Structure 1
Amino acid sequence: MQKRKLSRDEISREQQIKNIMDDVKERQSSYYNRLY
């Protein structure tokens, strides 16, 4: 088994998580901008 090599599923999952986190950050910042 090669531990270094990430499977495609793992990579896509990490990318999805990154996208979601970015999405959340953008929503939060725009939400706060609306408040102030």
Structure 2
Amino acid sequence: MDPRLLRAYNEELAYLREAGREFGQEHEVVAGYLGL
């Protein structure tokens, strides 16, 4: 696999995890329904 693609994938994954964490803190009930 191209290292640039792997790096971009990992950066995007880290962003989505952080965004999910923030969403979960701001919207606890909805996040619970979504399993976040």
> TM-score, normalized by length of structure 1?
0.70
Computing the radius of gyration over CA atoms, which structure comes out larger, 1 or 2? 1
5+ long unaligned stretches in structure 1? 1-5
Question: Greater helix percent: which structure?
Answer: 2
TM-score, length basis structure 2:
0.70
Q: How many residues align?
A: 28
CA RMSD of aligned residues (A): 0.7
After the TM superposition, which segments of 4 or more aligned residues of structure 1 sit over 3 Å from their partners?
Answer: none
Q: Structure 2: any 5+ residue segments left out of the alignment? A: 29-36
Percent of aligned pairs with the same amino acid: 0
